[in-house]
Structure 1
Amino acid sequence: MVSKPRNEWSAVLSQLVLAGVSLHAAVSSVQSSRGAAAGFLLQTFAAIIMLAPGLNTHEDCLAGAWVATVIGLPLLAFDFHWVNGDRSSANLLLGGGMVLAVAGGHLGPEGCSVAGQAVLLVVAVTILIVAVFTANTYGMWGGAMLGVAGLLSRLEEDRLLLLPKEDVCRWALAAGSWAYCRALHTQRLQWE
């Protein structure tokens, strides 16, 4: 049995890593990709909300995670598609995220959860497809890690690899965000 303090440290550490990686990615991509930087910044804010004492109520956490997922993740994928000339997919992903953000109040908790996981998987798959066709290794890893986070969040188990499932998902999101930031940098170098 894992003790409660260990679980709390695991959650705090995974939130700090996700916030740190996302903030670094936002700062390093702001000059080349403002959309992706905004998406990374939304991920940073969502992770920080979970850490802030007094702000980490269940409703606040869900709202922060919801915004980071349905708006932030499509913003991340937007630039990746746009630079490769796939403007229709870029606009569709971003527009779909905006519609979901507005409709979130009408979906209910289970509907929001399913829609958020669907957005995560759609973004991951589209990034992976573009990365495969452009031979962007970091993009492949980023898309795969975002997909892993989405698939792990659908599992029924509460613990994975001796850690709470949410912490493992945050570690996967952090790894995917780092790889995706590197993919954006590599993509910009190829197009310049």
Structure 2
Amino acid sequence: MGCVKLVSKEREWSLVMTSLLLCATALTATHRTRKINLGSAAGFLMQACAGAVSVVHSYSEEPPALLSASLREVNWVSMVIGLPLFSFGFHWLNDDWLAANSAVAGGILAAACSGNLAEEGREVAVRLAVAAPILSVLTVCLFTANLYGIVGSLAVCLVGVVSELEPGGLLGLKKMDVQNVLLTSGVVALQRALGTQYGAESK
């Protein structure tokens, strides 16, 4: 019995807490956004699901292989499709339906074409699927002086920068913890930005 305990994975409490924070924040954003734009609400919900699976995986001392595989898949889908859905609402509220649909179509296309790729290929797919829509949101928010949108877009962009760092390369912090905090900040800011833009459009 003692040998089993020595080799079992320790609970990653910092990752449990940051994942739980992301899940709760994204669920709140989903609830608040569902009456504004269902596309963006779906993107927030994907982040909440990724956070929930990460909580269970990080809390488990001996996570089953199926749970580990599910975590990788859910994280990947939440990035390659979920993040472009964030931008959907911004463009839709601006009556730019072409940009809105292009953002979602790009994510779906990247997911369909890179399903069998290696990890490196999937990372490239995430960058391609996320970069254009998030930068377009940043551009819209710059022109409309939407401070929440600017902060949220930059936070999401920084998630990709952190993913390139070596483990422990950012002040000794765990990479996944930093990414979760950045995503949580991005979710809060982008949800507020959508609410601000929706309020402006309603006047």
Superposed counterparts of 1:73-84, under 5 Å: 73-84=83-94
Shift of 1:131: 0.5
Q: 1:83-128 deviations in whole A, cap 9, x for unaligned?
A: 1122222111100111122223232211012211333333321111
Quote the residue 1:44 is aligned against: 48
Quote the residue 1:115 is aligned against: 125
Q: 1:156-179 deviations in whole A, cap 9, x for unaligned?
A: 343423320111011001001100
Cα distance in 2 for residues equivalent to 1:108 and 1:127 = 29
Superposed counterparts of 1:83-102, under 5 Å: 83-102=93-112
- Aligned partner (choices 4, 15, 19) of residue 15 of structure 1: 19
Identity %: 37
Give TM-score scaled by structure 1 length. Answer: 0.90
Distance change in 2, residues 1:166/1:118 (3 Å): farther
Cα distance in 2 for residues equivalent to 1:156 and 1:120 = 21
Cα distance in 2 for residues equivalent to 1:112 and 1:43 = 18
Could you tell me which runs of 5 or more consecutive residues in structure 2 were left unpaired when the two chains were aligned: 1-8
- Aligned partner (choices 156, 163, 169) of residue 153 of structure 1: 163
Larger Rg: 2
Could you tell me which runs of 5 or more consecutive residues in structure 1 were left unpaired when the two chains were aligned: none
Question: Alignment partner of 1:24: what SS?
Answer: helix
Q: 1:68-96 deviations in whole A, cap 9, x for unaligned?
A: 11111111111111111222221111001
Q: 1:2-26 deviations in whole A, cap 9, x for unaligned?
A: xx96x81111111011111101100
Q: Structure 1 runs of 4+ off > 6 angstroms?
A: none
Q: Is the 8 A contact 2:84 2:134 kept in 1?
A: no
Question: Alignment partner of 1:31: what SS?
Answer: coil
Question: Alignment partner of 1:106: what SS?
Answer: coil
Quote the residue 1:175 is aligned against: 185
Give TM-score scaled by structure 2 length. Answer: 0.86
